[in-house]
Amino acid sequence: MSGPKPETIAAAGSEHAHQVALFCWAAIESANYPELRLMFAIPNGGERNKIVAANLKAEGVKRHVPDIFLPVSRGAFHGLFIELKKPGKHHVDDGQRAFIEELHRLGYGAKVCVGWEEARDMILTYLKWK
């Protein structure tokens, strides 16, 4: 493997670093799990100026949507959403909880994962379901 390892990327400690590490891992493992090539990030968070925020809202970006989606069905689930949090002090707000509950109700897997390793483990477990 060339390039930085997920562990090295995540060492920066930010949520961004953990998400980049997860996608780095997914790129590496896509040879073993081709479905990982379909996984994508949902740009619903982060600091933005008012103009960019207004444009994204007009385009349909919504608050509380989980950070990552794997559009692959497994078992009774239509796909897997992940809300990724950095290790240490983190917070899942009521809106995020409600959105995740609604996703479950509609037949999607949805999980809050702390750190890229927990997200990786959740994805691997999900992909192995029949």
Evaluate whether the domain defined by 6-128 bears CATH number 3.40.1350.10: yes
What pLDDT is recorded for position 57? 84
What pLDDT is recorded for position 94? 96
What pLDDT is recorded for position 8? 96
Burial classification of residue 94, based on how many CB atoms lie within 10 Å of its CB (0-12 exposed, 13-18 middle, 19 or more buried) = exposed
What pLDDT is recorded for position 64? 94
What pLDDT is recorded for position 1? 53
The structural domains of the chain, with segments of one domain joined by +, span 6-128
What pLDDT is recorded for position 46? 67
Torsion of CA 69, 72, 74, 80, to 10 degrees: 0
What pLDDT is recorded for position 53? 82
Extract the residue ranges of the chain whose pLDDT is less than 70.
1, 45-47
What pLDDT is recorded for position 130? 76
